[in-house]
Amino acid sequence: MDITNAVKIIKEAKHLTALTGAGVSAESGIPTFRGKNGLWNKFRPEELATPEAFARNPELVWKWYAWRMSIIFNATPSRAHLALAKLEELGLLKALITQNVDDLHERAGSKKVIHLHGSLRIAKCSSCSHVEYLKEPPHTLPKCPECSSLLRPGVVWFGESLPLDILRKAVEELSKSDAVMVVGTSAVVQPAASLPLIVKENGGKIVEINPERTPLTAMADVSIRGKAGDVLGKILKAL
């Protein structure tokens, strides 16, 4: 029934957008921040992904990122990533806004991807404007070739603001949207978590896909409890 309702919303939408989180990459074997992280279980992401943690112990922070990069660079897109790319190819999905710092949406074939929190493929200088692409996770502390300062991961850390141009692009897409699919996000990290409300305030619909309830569930028009790959697969079949 929920699938039928979701399909109806997707088909009727003139401008459908998706907002994704770590849950869509969970099925590619990439741990979510609330998952079991083995070795790294004793550290909380909120204590590693911050400018203060980097200033205090850049080696520890880079080790954690190198570990995450090695998983992400070797992962392959999941059924969820592929289904979202297919929805774009079919002309149904107009834009995809992601909190994920992996590149699995692009590798699945999605073209219009807005990365709210940056990318693990990028390292940037902590002092100057130097930016580089990472083919491999760095094994030692990476330094800037221009000014010798430490390079840092090209992501937005807790306590940092989102780049304004990126946030503006996301808001622009959502302001045009009459429906948004919110997939695999715990909807607790701001401002990303509030973005779907732009659509709601404009009279549009929210379709949520998540195995668990989130703070957004009460606001959703359709909320489907399930894994992103399973649910999106069913939606694609029913279209």
What residues act catalytically?
Answer: 117
CB closer to Zn ion, 131 vs 188: 131
**Binds 55: which of Zn ion, ligand NAD, none (CB < 5-8 Å by kind):** none
Amino acid, res. 128:
C
DSSP 3-state assignment of 41?
A: helix
| Residue 55 touches Zn ion, criterion: CB under 5 A | no
| Residue 128 touches Zn ion, criterion: CB under 5 A | yes
**From 147, 188, 238, 239, residue interacting with Zn ion (rule: CB under 5 A):** 147
d(CA 209, CA 160): 28
d(CA 179, CA 199): 7
CB closer to Zn ion, 144 vs 231: 144
Q: Looking at the DSSP assignment, which residues form a beta bridge with residue 223?
A: 208
**From 15, 112, 130, 234, residue interacting with Zn ion (rule: CB under 5 A):** 130
**From 227, 232, 235, 236, residue interacting with ligand NAD (rule: CB under 6 A):** 227
Handedness of CA 44, 49, 51, 54 (dihedral sign): positive
Sheet harboring 118-125: ordered strands across?
131-133, 118-125, 151-155
**Binds 78: which of ligand NAD, Zn ion, none (CB < 5-8 Å by kind):** none
End-to-end CA distance of the chain: 14
**From 48, 49, 123, 125, residue interacting with Zn ion (rule: CB under 5 A):** 125
**From 17, 100, 177, 223, residue interacting with ligand NAD (rule: CB under 6 A):** 100
Burial (CB count within 10 angstroms: exposed 0-12, middle 13-18, buried 19+), residue 212: exposed
Binding flags for ligand NAD, 22-61, as an x/- string (CB under 6 A) = xx-xxx--x-xxx---------------------------
CB closer to ligand NAD, 160 vs 172: 160
